[in-house]
Amino acid sequence: GYEAHALTVHDARRFAEAGKPWRWRPVTELVERLRAAKDEGEVAAIRAAALLAGEALRRTLAQVRPGMTELAIAGLLEGALRQLGSEGHPFPTIVASGPRSALPHARSSGRIVATGEWLLLDFGAQVDGYCADITRTVVAGARASERQRALYGVVYEAQRRARAGVHAGMSGRDADALARDPIAARGLGEAFGHSLGHGLGLEVHEAPRLSKTNAEPLPGGAVVTVEPGVYLAGEGGVRIEDDVHLPPDGAAAELLSDGLTDLVEVV
């Protein structure tokens, strides 16, 4: 069997030229499905990575001030991750400020962070090869405005609801709805433009998908992200992301990251 999305033309030709009378049979995401359920050691590694990431963020925020660039803050965060023992960065660290925080997949830039702006930090850590993925959104250098508190509250409540309700056996679609429905009820459904989450493991994006297009049941033992967001062009965005383990018996999800999601004002 072979996985069509992973077999290159080069390798297919090499196997064909080997001269053996193989019969080719395509399979779909076989390895990914097998990897989706994590054993105790894998869960422990992801938990360690997630808690390490949370500590790195705390050390970084203690040094963040308006007037710094996004890239400088990303450098502080990546340095703290390394100092605490992260083996690498599973993906390029995202630090997005002000209106750039409305870009869900922004790249850290030379933009200078201004007082009172949103500051979104999406980052990961790696322990024993396994990845954690965390996002926090804070207010830089000032107390949050009423508007900021209201917007943050929408995402906060949606994330708490999803964390409390997600479990093995429910569909990826139903998991996504746990956060999407309350956001939509506040008139912000169109501002939540990505899925609720994804699996974690040796790669930062693995099966399963917590998506409105996924009718498949979430496998027991999976570790997934829970990361709703609201993004308003020209204003900014809020995303809150934690990592959870789905027990095989369908019990409530186990929080692996620190879960410290109250609105932080970096003053």
Q: Are residues 103 and 62 in the same domain?
A: yes
Q: Are residues 181 and 167 in the same domain?
A: yes
Q: Are residues 2 and 12 in the same domain?
A: yes
Q: What is the dihedral of CA 47, 48, 50, 56, to 10 degrees?
A: 160
The CATH code of the domain that includes 235 is 3.90.230.10
Q: Are residues 32 and 147 in the same domain?
A: no
Pairing of strands 264-266, 130-140: parallel
Q: Are residues 60 and 1 in the same domain?
A: no
Query: What's residue 262's pLDDT?
Result: 96
Q: Are residues 12 and 135 in the same domain?
A: no
Q: Is 140 left (phi over 0), alpha (psi -120 to 50) or beta?
A: beta
Domain that holds residue 115: 38-266
Q: Are residues 11 and 53 in the same domain?
A: no
Decide: 222 and 210 in contact? Cβ < 8 Å: no
Decide: 266 and 141 in contact? Cβ < 8 Å: yes
DSSP designation for 144? P
Total number of domains constituting the chain = 2
Q: Is the pTM of this model over 0.85?
A: yes
Q: Are residues 113 and 245 in the same domain?
A: yes
Q: Are residues 22 and 54 in the same domain?
A: no
Q: Are residues 72 and 146 in the same domain?
A: yes
User: In DSSP terms, which residues pair with 254 in a beta bridge?
Assistant: 245
Query: What's residue 3's pLDDT?
Result: 73
Decide: 200 and 224 in contact? Cβ < 8 Å: yes
**Digitized pLDDT (tens) for each residue of the chain, 267 residues in all:** 677 777 888 887 887 787 777 777 777 777 778 889 999 999 999 999 999 999 999 999 999 999 999 999 999 999 999 999 999 999 999 999 999 999 999 999 999 999 999 999 999 999 999 999 999 999 999 999 999 999 999 999 999 999 999 999 999 999 999 999 999 999 999 999 999 999 999 999 999 999 999 999 999 999 999 999 999 999 999 999 999 999 999 999 999 999 999 999 999
Mean pLDDT taken over the chain: 95
Q: Are residues 212 and 98 in the same domain?
A: yes
Query: What's residue 32's pLDDT?
Result: 78
Q: Are residues 43 and 32 in the same domain?
A: no
